Structure 1
Amino acid sequence: MSNQIINQAFNQGIGAYVNCLNNLRIQDLHNAMKIIEDEARRVILNKDNASKILNYTRDNIEDVILKKRGGDYGGHGFIAEFAEAGIVNARRAIEGLNPIVKVLNDNGPADLLIGRNTIQMKFYGNLRDELAQSFHYSSKMKMMFPKDHVQVFEKIMAGAKEVELNGKRLSIKQITDIRQMINDITESKGLTSYKYWMKSSALDYKDAQKNSIHSLIDSEEKNIRKTVRLKQQELNKKRLVAQKHALPNLKEANKLARNAAFLQSGLALM
């Protein structure tokens, strides 16, 4: 067999091998990019869903304020209900999760439905007055209080002797009274821990006021945009990695060169 024929066959074989590798890389890149672009579309869809939820929430809260529901002192309770549902559901939407909080708005004993749990919300400025409302509801009803109030209750139940709320230190008597009241409520419901009936809102007490609620929703919208940017940055990194993996690397080139040299030397002996 002449060297010309051998070299021609060799070059054709190497060319076919290289084409095969390139086709595999292209197919892998195509598959990887399809997964990434599908994920990118989901990010935008989730953002749109979260924004719609917050817009709906803003409209409901504006309606509460305009109609003066709850009067001068009870309006923040209705604001808290719609804000809780909107914020929690929007945070879930941005992660691709379904809404879980529903405002019942039916003048019944429960304000919210979270999953299968009925929730009564109480947003009072006075901690003990707020807690005292729990005596009026059955053990099946979960009681939801402002996040900053629940943090105070948790510290007290953990045995803290120095507790502050809004920069003001609670007296020993206040701490003792609150701890006793929580224990009494738990006992009256036939439960063994306050954690079975007490739930924390996503809102602090000040957030549910008509002069601050819009700032809170604006902040949530800003957080959604930030989350979207971070997700898109992560997707861009994945695109670069996929493109890099699709390129021939030095290890592949060296392996191909060694195989080519071995094959060529073998053919030369024929």
Structure 2
Amino acid sequence: MNKFAQTTQEQATAAWINYLNQLRVDALLELLATQKDNLSDAISSINNALLKIDLEVVSTNRGGQKGMHGFIAEIAELGIGNARELISGQKATYTWVNDNGPVDLMRAGVDIQQKFSMSGGSFSLAAVEEHLKRYPDYVKNGGRYQIPQDHFTTVQRLHSMSPEEAGRLVSRSGKGESFKDWQRINKFFNEGSIQIESLEPSKLDYRDVQRGTYASTLESEQDSLRSTDRALRDRAYQRSRPKLEEGAKASLVAATLEGGTSFLLAVMAKRKAGKQFQEFSAQDWAEILTESGLGVARGGVRGVSVYSLTNFTATSAAVASSIVTATFGIAEQAHRLRNGELGALEFLENAEVVCLEAAIAALSSFVGQALIPVPVIGAVIGNTVGTIMYQCVSASLSRTEADLIKGYLADQRALDEELAAQYGRLVDELNQGLSNYLAVLERAFSPDLQIALRGSIDLARALGVPTDEILDSKNKTSSYFLD
């Protein structure tokens, strides 16, 4: 009974660790499947933007030579903005208003007016000022202005400069921002009705949305999305890998369970000996605690070992736990051998029994978990049924029956060898056939027309095309194409 309870607890611990591992794997697979859809949606957002620009702007010459890039910028911002949300599993937030009114885009309920302009070297601020004159309440009502990313960077840098710093820009006039640029920008914010907080950068530079560059801009964005997708997948994989903290938790839980089981079994053994609880002596409790401590130690080793074997080798949890159990059992038999309690023959026989019982427990738990796919419960039920059946069978098998089983196993091994040989021959035949097929295929697609013609005829024959349907002569070829 004690042995049965111990193996059940051991396999339950292994099944629980296996469940933890499976949760991580299932979460990773689910995330990867979702990420595949995210990438597809993000790429579609870019493709839709490209198509919309081609059909609604470029082909119709919308905005003319000077204003076309503004409409391209709106649609490109829409496609890229939504794609960057979709790639990470978020909802698309941009919509295109497209009514030639005060609002170009909507982003999560926020009005956005885009201004992509090089007029007067104002970094798009002149266009913003003109829009404010037409719609003076636009900013008060929560609207925002969006200018090219490179323009915004320049505006932000010059706006933050002190007059002393700006004075040093004179020497760089013509090569970068000038002192006049600084004066113009400061005048805009000091005398106007808008603060820099009402501006935001586009995801695009001014040059990115010109008629000759928008296609390469959006294609580059697709490459960037694929790179982001790979990074997200890699991050998900890294998060799903076995962790030291989880291994320590598994070890702690296994130690607690095995220590508790050992404590209960030790108390039950004292009770079966006829002692009441109040009769337990200090020596009895010391023995119980010693056995419990050994159980805690075994459980800790089991937890670490099972977690490591299941995560870093191709070993199932049931088998991993049985390996640990067999190791403990053989170590105990080795200790008895060294102390002279066993002879060499008895040691070998006992070691075989330990390994057999561990294997029975592993197989039973594995089958039970497969038939009853409920975490832990299936393994426990499988171990219970398998162990009881093994105990019954091992106690009742006669030597004749054992010999029959041994003979059956020998027949199975012979059959395995014969099937392995047949399999090897079939693989060789398949490889030879494939090699011949590839040789014919190579000739059929040769750049040399004569070789390709003969190769095509050989390929048709190899594929079983009827002879009268193969164009292997001038007459057949002429008849096929001209008659």
| TM-score between the two structures when normalised by the length of structure 1 | 0.79
Q: Does 1:42 align with 2:34?
A: yes
Q: What corresponds to 2:201 in structure 1? A: 200
2:144 & 2:53 partners in 1: Cα distance? Answer: 23
Tell me, in whole angstroms, the C-alpha distance in 2 between the residues paired with 1:114 and 1:37.
32
Aligned to 2:19: 27
For structure 2, which runs of at least 5 residues remain unmatched after alignment?
Answer: 252-297, 305-323, 333-483
Matches within 5 A, 1:1-270: 9-63=1-55, 64-126=57-119, 127-128=121-122, 130-133=124-127, 134=129, 135-136=132-133, 137=135, 138=137, 139=139, 140=141, 141-159=143-161, 161=166, 168-186=175-193, 193-195=195-197, 197-241=198-242, 251-253=300-302
* Counterpart Cα distance in 2 of 1:234 and 1:155: 35
One-letter code of the match for 2:302? A
Matched to 2:17, the amino acid is R
Offset at residue 82 of structure 1 (A): 0.2
- Percent identical across equivalent pairs? 25
User: What is the CA–CA distance in structure 2 between the aligned matches of 1:154 and 1:254, rounded to whole Å?
Assistant: 58
Counterparts in 2 of 1:68 and 1:28: CA distance versus 1, 3 Å: same
Code of the residue aligned with 1:60 in structure 2: it is K
Which deviations, in whole Å up to 9, do the C-alpha atoms of 1:91-114 show, x marking residues without a partner? 010111111111111121211112
Cα distance in 1 for partners of 2:19, 2:177 equals: 66
Residue 45 and residue 163 in structure 1: after superposition, are their counterparts in 2 closer, same or farther (change >3 A)? Answer: farther
1:46-102 CA-to-partner distances (Å, cap 9, x unmatched) read: 111111111111101112111111111110000000001111110010111111111
Find the structure with the greater CA-based Rg: 2
Q: 1:91 to 1:163 in 2, by over 3 A?
A: farther
Q: Is the 8 A contact 1:131 1:182 kept in 2?
A: no
Quickly say closer, same or farther: Cα 1:71–1:125, change in 2 above 3 A. same
**Structure 2 CA distance, aligned partners of 1:65 and 1:132?**
25
What's the offset of the Cα at 1:211?
Answer: 1.1
The one of the two structures with greater contact order (alpha-carbon pairs below 8 A, sep at least 6) is: 1
Q: Which residue number corresponds to residue 445 of structure 2?
A: none
Shift of 1:24: 1.0
Question: Hey, what's the Cα distance between the residues in 1 that align with 2:238 and 2:38?
Answer: 20
Aligned partner letter, 2:199: M
Query: Secondary structure in 2 aligned to 1:105?
Result: coil
Quote the Cα distance in structure 2 between the aligned partners of 1:10 and 1:230: 52
1:120 is paired with a residue whose SS is strand
User: CA separation in 1, counterparts of 2:148 and 2:98?
Assistant: 19
> Alignment partner of 2:101: what SS?
coil
Amino acid at match of 1:252: V
State the shift of 1:40 in Å: 1.2
Shift, 1:10, TM fit: 4.7
Q: Which runs of 5+ in 1 are unaligned?
A: 1-8, 263-270
Asked if structure 1 preserves the Cα contact closer than 8 Å seen for 2:123 and 2:151, the reply is no
**Cα distance in 1 between the residues matched to 2:39 and 2:303:** 46
Report the AA paired with residue 48 of structure 2: Y
Residue 215 of structure 1: how far off its partner (Å): 1.2
Letter in 2 for 1:91: R
Question: TM-score, normalising length from structure 2?
Answer: 0.46
Aligned length: 246
CA distance in 1, matches of 2:199, 2:39: 31
Cα deviation, 1:24-51, whole Å, max 9, x if unaligned, reads 1222222222222211111111111111
CA contact 1:121–1:144 (8 Å) conserved in 2: yes
Please state which structure has a larger fraction of its residues in helix: 2
Distance 2:204 2:72 in 1: 11
Distance 2:123 2:206 in 1: 14
Decide whether aligned partners of structure 1 residues 51 and 22 sit closer, same or farther in structure 2, where only a CA change above 3 A counts: same
Partner SS for 2:192: helix
* Contact 1:53–1:89, Cα closer than 8 Å, also in 2: yes
RMSD: 3.3
Structure holding more strand per residue = 1
